[in-house]
Amino acid sequence: MTMTIDAKGVYYKELNHNLRNHLDKGVKEILVQNVNGQRYIGDGVTGSQRLILEGTPGNDMAAFMDGLEIVVKGNGQDGTGNTMNQGRIIVHGHTGDTTGYAMRGGEIFIRDYVGYRVGIHMKEYKEKIPAIVIGGTAGDFLGEYMAGGIVVVLGIGLKEREDIVGDYCGTGMHGGIMYIRGQIPEYNLGKEVKIVEMTDEDKALVRGYVERYVTYFGGNVKSILSKPFNKLIPYNKRPYGNLYTSW
Amino acid sequence: MPISMQLPDYLVDRDPNRCITCKVCVNQCANDVHHWDKDVDSVIAEEEKCVNCHRCVIYCPTHALKIRRNPTEYKENHYWNSSTIRGIDRQAEGGGVLLTGMGTDKPIPIYWDRLFLNASQVTNPSIDPLREPMEIRTYLGSKPDNVIIKDGKLIKELPPQLVLDAPIMFGALSFGAISLSAVKSLAKAATDCGVMWNTGEGGLHRDVYEYGKNCIVQVASGRFGVDAEYLNAGSAIEIKIGQGAKPGIGGHLPGEKVGEEVSKTRMIPVGSDAISPAPHHDIYSIEDLRQLIYALKEATRYTKPVSVKVSAVHNVAAIASGIVRAGADIVAIDGVRGGTGAAPLRTRDSVGIPAELALAAVDSRLRQEGIRNQASLVIAGGIRNSSDIVKAIALGADACYIGTAALITMGCRMCQTCYTGKCNWGICTQDPKLVKRLNPEIGAQRLTNLIHAWSHEIKELLGGMGINALESLRGNRLMLRGVGLSETEYRILGILPAGE
């Protein structure tokens, strides 16, 4: 059963306190209406429940989150999924800067575009591999210092002469993979990353994410996959290994 | 040109009359200085590799070894001295940023040694801590502007506080930089002594979760090992902005030190560099800092104080004011002498300001602004002994972090090559063979001895001043006098010259 909470005019502290109380009591799904900039929704919450947010949640939504599914019927702001550990975020709109900063696990699907420094410091350990799937374009410093995880950029609705990613894409990257649909201009790439051939496993992986994207937001898998993807990986695990001389 | 212009820094003197070619030195040296030459049945030394860590000297059963500084002199020159020439030689050959370990070894003025404590004579009696109770328990956290008491009970809820049995905490030393044996030593000692240890930015290894109650968990820009469980495992959370040894520079754990256990704890692949850049990319302003502070408070349901650690830099007083206004419960300030597992030499030796001046400036500023009660003040960066701590508290600190002193307690000889991962004492290494050399039980016992000894000395010094509670000394600068300082320094420190 879905519980409904009206967030209109409610200060973030009170809203989050209420949400946590209900989740603690075992409510499986909460629909929050009229969300209007309240920060920190779902921060540090552990569990497998579901939140549906109507409106625009504020910064640091789902920071340190551990397992929930959050569906945003609107746009996300900065720091969405900041240092998230597990769970899923589905945003029916765009999100701001540092989406998925230092993500350790779970998934974020964004229908439209994202801001700067998305997916930076993403990590992975063995089978725990976080993923961010972006429907539109990404701003500068996508995947900066990435140490693991997967970033997929679909560039749906890309305008003529519009770049799919911003400058310094993958700067300082030393782990993980980015899959970018279509051509990436050389000048957008950081000097620590290179473009390599897609293998069959890569293609299967990308197809899986595209199918999920279409399930959440609509669209046509075949037409999205008709444009070839580029795979970006770092040159090595130690981008700054030769920087120093022993004193 | 010869292959290298560099001379060995140290010479290994081996007394042939004492050496019994037992090869202990060969086995003990991770730097591969000592070799056994079977043709002549003697041990020889490759002195270029010696870092003067004393491992062989202490383990040599016949005391046959001495390490001394290479006495070879350069042509006398006050300006272009041997250290300057050495730096240029190394960079001419290596072409990289000079990397070093530990805190700066430069002769920066030591203000602690210019400050003198008061003692009671005639007009008010001193107190003997052996016979009278002496309160050094310390509470760290935000204190309310006022308290409401009804029927003898506090009815206004206090913000969360850290309780310390002594005003001493182990500073941030990350697993990765230091070994798991060293982490366990610190964690166990902090628990036994009722003080705190600090994870640094390397996450919390599974084996030390049991010491969480006495732990401050750190959140740095790389966010290594940070998840909801980690945040809730400690008693406080510290946002690391800066470090005294390298203000403005991030952390950079070389891939050599990222083995299986570090990889698991930090969640990065084995052998990859652990990069923690200078800025948190979600913090570009005081408002952004407030956002992270409150994200952490929300994630831990407002049950834990949040600390913000910065390096002591020029505008530290204004920065500290911003940090307090951003909602931090504790401000930690790390002075220029703060230690590190690895830092660029030029940054370590010339960026930042001494802890003593930073502390006095911050305490004064927060008092002037009427917000000193809103956060506790922790000072770090070169605290050597109990009198440094007492002087720090009189200057306005609530507690001190010790890092280097704790490392020395565990056996560190300050050879300053922590970044090589070859620490012969098992402290600053991930090599399983070396890590085993530090027994966490013994390490913890030695640290406990130190904290107990210092606690007693603090009580003695307090008693001498006729003070029976540390709280009465906090920011009580009348208990300090200075010698040989400039007028400006007296003004900044807020103390009088001796004799006045």
> What is the pLDDT, as a whole number, of residue A126?
87
- pLDDT bracket for residue B244 (50, 70, 90): very high
Rounded Cα distance, B182 and B425, in Å: 10
- pLDDT bracket for residue B155 (50, 70, 90): confident
Q: Please compute the mean of the pLDDT values over residues B28-41 and round it to a whole number.
A: 95
Q: How close is the nearest chain A Cα to the Cα of B358, in Å?
A: 28
Contact by Cβ (8 Å): B379, B394? no
The dihedrals phi and psi of B154, each to the nearest 5 degrees, come to: -75, 120
Beta carbons of B99 and A174 less than 8 Å apart: no
- pLDDT bracket for residue B157 (50, 70, 90): confident
Least confident piece of the model among A226-230, B29-33, B147-151, B177-181: B147-151
Please name the member of A39, A102, A175 whose beta carbon is closest to the beta carbon of B223: A102
ipTM surpassing 0.90, yes or no? yes
SS3 assignment for chain B: CCCCCCCCCEEEEECCCCCCCCCHHHHHCCCCCEEEECCCCEEEECHHHCCCCCHHHHHCCCCCEEEEECCCCCCCCCCCCHHHHHHHHHHHHHCCEEEECCCCCCCCCCHHHHEEECCCCCCCCCCCCCCCCCECCEEECCCCCCCCEECCEECCCCCCCEEECCCEEEEECCECCECHHHHHHHHHHHHHHCCEEECCCCCCCHHHHHHHHHEEEEECCCCCCCCHHHHHHCCEEEEECCCCCCCCCCEEECHHHCCHHHHHHHCCCCCCCEEECCCCCCCCCHHHHHHHHHHHHHHCCCCCCEEEEEECCCCHHHHHHHHHHCCCCEEEEECCCCCCCCEEHHHHHHCCCCHHHHHHHHHHHHHHCCCHHHCEEEEECCCCCHHHHHHHHHHCCCEEEECHHHHHHCCCCCCCCHHHCCCCCCCCCCCHHHHCCCCHHHHHHHHHHHHHHHHHHHHHHHHHCCCCEHHHCCCCHHHEEECCCCHHHHHHHCCEECCC
Question: Residue B219's closest chain A neighbor by CA?
Answer: A83
Beta carbons of B228 and A85 less than 8 Å apart: yes
Question: Which residues are within 8 A (CB) of B244 and not within 5 positions of it... i.e. 6 or more apart?
Answer: B103, B311, B312, B334, B335, B336, B337, B338, B339, B352, B355, B380, B381
The closest of A114, A84, A87, A89 to A102, measured between CA atoms, is: A84
* Mean of pLDDT over chain B: 95
Which contacts of A37-42 are long-range, i.e. CB under 8 A and separated by 24 or more positions?
A: A37/A77, A38/A7, A38/A10, A38/A11, A38/A12, A39/A12, A39/B291, A39/B294, A39/B295, A40/A12, A40/A16, A40/B294, A40/B295, A40/B298, A40/B299, A41/A12, A41/A15, A41/A16, A41/A70, A42/A68, A42/A70
Inform me whether the pLDDT recorded for B200 exceeds 90. Answer: yes
Q: How close is the nearest chain A Cα to the Cα of B98, in Å?
A: 5
Contacts of A243 in chain B (CB under 8 A): 96-97
Rounded Cα distance, B180 and B176, in Å: 8
Rounded Cα distance, A176 and A163, in Å: 22
The pLDDT tens digits of the residues spanning B284-300 come to: 999 999 999 999 999 99
Beta carbons of B223 and A65 less than 8 Å apart: no
Domain with CATH 3.30.70.20 in chain B: 10-73
Low-confidence ranges of chain A (pLDDT < 70): none
The closest of A116, B130, A122 to A108, measured between CA atoms, is: A122
Contact by Cβ (8 Å): A113, A89? no
- Joined tokens for residue A131: 């993923």
> What is the pLDDT, as a whole number, of residue B142?
98
Beta carbons of A82 and B295 less than 8 Å apart: yes
In chain B, % of residues over pLDDT 70: 100
Q: Residue B74 half-sphere exposure, CB side, CA atoms within 13 Å?
A: 14
Question: Residue A246's closest chain B neighbor by CA?
Answer: B99
Contacts of B226 in chain A (CB under 8 A): 64, 83, 102, 104
Is the torsion defined by CA of B135, B140, B144, B145 positive or negative? Answer: positive
Q: Please compute the mean of the pLDDT values over residues B102-126 and round it to a whole number.
A: 95
Q: How close is the nearest chain A Cα to the Cα of B219, in Å?
A: 10
Q: How close is the nearest chain B Cα to the Cα of A83, in Å?
A: 7
Q: Touching check for A80 and chain B: CB below 8 Å?
A: no
> What is the pLDDT, as a whole number, of residue A243?
87
Contacts of A145 in chain B (CB under 8 A): 222, 275, 277
- Partnered with residue B169 across adjacent β-strands are B196, B401
Q: Please compute the mean of the pLDDT values over residues B405-416 and round it to a whole number.
A: 97
Please name the member of A60, A102, A117 whose beta carbon is closest to the beta carbon of B295: A60
Which residues numbered 166-205 in A keep a CB inside 8 Å of some CB on B? Answer: 172, 174-175
> What is the pLDDT, as a whole number, of residue B275?
85
User: Do the bridges between strand B138-140 and strand B162-164 make them parallel or antiparallel, or are there none, so unpaired?
Assistant: antiparallel
The pLDDT tens digits of the residues spanning B449-469 come to: 999 999 999 999 999 999 999
Sole residue written with tokens 């444009």:
A227
- A158, B173, B394 from B401: Cα distances, Å: 53, 11, 16
Q: Touching check for A244 and chain B: CB below 8 Å?
A: yes
Q: How close is the nearest chain B Cα to the Cα of A244, in Å?
A: 4
Q: Hey, what domains does chain A have and what are their CATH numbers?
A: 2-234 (2.160.20.60)
Q: Touching check for A125 and chain B: CB below 8 Å?
A: yes
**Chain A, chain B: beta-carbon pairs less than 8 Å apart:** 155
Q: Does the domain formed by B138-497 have CATH 3.20.20.70?
A: yes
Question: Residue A97's closest chain B neighbor by CA?
Answer: B282
Q: Touching check for A111 and chain B: CB below 8 Å?
A: no
Domain with CATH 3.20.20.70 in chain B: 138-497
Residue of A11, A38, A60, A64 best to disrupt the B interface, most CBs of B under 10 A: A64
Contacts of B100 in chain A (CB under 8 A): 247
| Angle, alpha carbons B195-B416-B169 (nearest 5°) | 10
Biggest CA pair distance of chain B: 88
The pLDDT tens digits of the residues spanning B209-226 come to: 999 999 999 999 999 999
- A211, B165, B214, B215 from B456: Cα distances, Å: 68, 12, 21, 23
Which residues numbered 139-158 in A keep a CB inside 8 Å of some CB on B? Answer: 141, 144-145, 147-148
CATH number of B10-73: 3.30.70.20
